[in-house]
């Protein structure tokens, strides 16, 4: 069977670095940290009192006040971000078959803000069940996909992927597969997350997963650094328009990059810890390379999962070195989480966007906040520390791994006709 080729024709980003694609990319290449004290709630009693929050987002720029109250922040972020991507794609809704345009939208957790508020109100009432009729529709993780399809009338495949921090990369992989098989012409795919609240911060803190560097939050996200102490929570959304190549060419769409391949695997090891030798990560990258039909030497850049956790960074680098061998020393490795924090279920989407723009613009954003080499890592590798590097990027790999041992990798390459 001959698979159809898939390209990227639209992008949208709503991140702690900025609420548009351009602001996000400028923040990345300039090495800006988006971390700061949490403003959403009183953190006095919390071990971690900082995060990478979305800043200046006004829901009323996208919804009227009454309508906005029907959406959890994770859905608000998703709908707003998808709007940027759809507009960026230049699609004319009157000239396409809406039955063949789908939405695959993800969230690792969904409407945690809504759940926390409604249960809090229930407790305050002394157990009187006065729940908002929108409680369940606001909370469920698939509702953002539904809202996006309703807004634009997209009647193709529509669902949510949930695989913890790999969720939005899974959404992209599924969109790629559906278009390859001729099941749809286009997809809006990506993910959103909004978990900077007492439950989100408290829960991850209880697991000792997040940094406690309260005295210096801007440098707290330190992937591959000896003194890393956990990830920094982020929030926001990333949206990508994937399109069958001939469909894109027929309507004269601009093309950012070609979607070369995807890999999916499981660690089958532990609910939160990665395999110590990076076995799942290795298999995931290997499968993505096979799917893309690329040689190891074709990859110029890897946007790693790179969370700045003590175990995760080491296992991922082991996997990269095992797969790529000597070529690993010629690859620009980075972690954009050093700037955005960890967007959980939306991480795969925004980091795929960063990889795509690296391919498009031949520049690799830095891994900021590097101060001390980690002796357990091979520091002859190019981790793109502290400053962006210009180089030809013909193909880029984006890694995303999640609790439960879920792994998803995407590969993007220059479109050459």
Q: Which residues are catalytic?
A: 165, 305, 342
Give the N- to C-terminal CA distance of the chain in Å, as an integer: 21
Confirm if 400 and 168 have CB atoms less than 8 A apart. yes
Residue 9 is encoded by which pair of tokens?
């024709």
Beta-bridged to residue 401, according to DSSP, are 407
Q: Which residues contact 202 (CB under 8 A, 6 or more apart)?
A: 46
CA 327, 328, 330, 331: dihedral to nearest 10 degrees? 130
CA nearest to 339, candidates 309, 301, 308, 317? 308
CA nearest to 401, candidates 265, 215, 269? 265
Residue 307 is encoded by which pair of tokens?
């969370």
Which DSSP state fits 98? Answer: G
Plot region of 18 (φ>0 → left; ψ -120 to 50 → alpha; else → beta): left
Confirm if 395 and 411 have CB atoms less than 8 A apart. yes
- What does the alpha-carbon distance between residue 89 and residue 319 come to, in Å, rounded to a whole number? 35
Beta strands 406-413 and 186-193 are unpaired
């Amino acid at each position: 069977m001959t698979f159809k080729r898939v390209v990227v024709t639209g992008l949208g980003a709503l991140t702690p670095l900025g609420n548009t694609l351009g602001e996000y990319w400028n923040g990345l290449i300039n090495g800006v940290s988006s971390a700061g004290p949490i403003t959403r709630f009183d953190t006095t009693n919390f071990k971690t009192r900082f995060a990478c929050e979305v800043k200046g987002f006004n829901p009323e720029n996208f919804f009227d006040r009454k309508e906005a109250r029907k959406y959890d922040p994770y859905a608000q972020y998703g709908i707003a971000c998808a709007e940027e991507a759809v507009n960026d794609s230049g699609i004319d809704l009157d000239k396409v078959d809406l039955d063949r345009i789908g939405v695959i939208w993800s969230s690792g957790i969904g409407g945690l803000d809504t759940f926390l508020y409604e249960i809090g109100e229930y407790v305050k009432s002394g157990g009187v069940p006065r729940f908002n009729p929108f409680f369940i529709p606001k909370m469920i993780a698939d509702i953002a996909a539904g809202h996006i399809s309703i807004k634009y009338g997209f009647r193709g495949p529509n669902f949510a992927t949930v695989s913890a921090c790999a969720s939005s990369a899974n959404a992209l992989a599924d969109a790629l597969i559906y278009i390859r098989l001729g099941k749809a012409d286009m997809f809006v795919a990506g993910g959103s997350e909004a978990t900077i609240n007492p439950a989100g911060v408290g829960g991850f803190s209880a697991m000792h997963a997040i940094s406690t560097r309260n005295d210096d939050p801007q440098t707290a996200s330190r992937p591959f650094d000896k003194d890393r102490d956990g990830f920094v929570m982020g929030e926001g959304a990333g949206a990508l328009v994937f399109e069958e190549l001939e469909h894109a060419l027929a309507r004269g769409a601009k093309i950012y990059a070609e979607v070369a391949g995807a890999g999916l695997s499981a660690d089958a090891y532990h609910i939160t810890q990665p395999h110590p030798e990076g076995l799942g990560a290795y298999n995931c990258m290997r499968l993505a390379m096979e799917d893309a039909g690329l040689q190891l030497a074709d990859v110029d850049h890897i946007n790693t999962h790179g969370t700045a956790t003590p175990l995760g960074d080491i296992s991922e680098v082991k996997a990269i070195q095992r797969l790529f061998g000597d070529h690993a020393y010629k690859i620009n490795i980075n972690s954009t989480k050093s700037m955005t924090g960890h967007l959980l279920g939306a991480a795969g989407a925004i980091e795929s966007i960063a990889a795509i723009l690296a391919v498009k613009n031949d520049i690799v954003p830095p891994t900021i906040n590097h101060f001390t080499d980690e002796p357990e890592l091979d520091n002859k590798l190019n981790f793109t520390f502290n400053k962006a590097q210009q180089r030809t990027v013909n193909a880029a790999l984006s890694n995303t791994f999640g609790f439960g041992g879920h792994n998803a990798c995407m590969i993007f390459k220059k479109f050459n006709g």
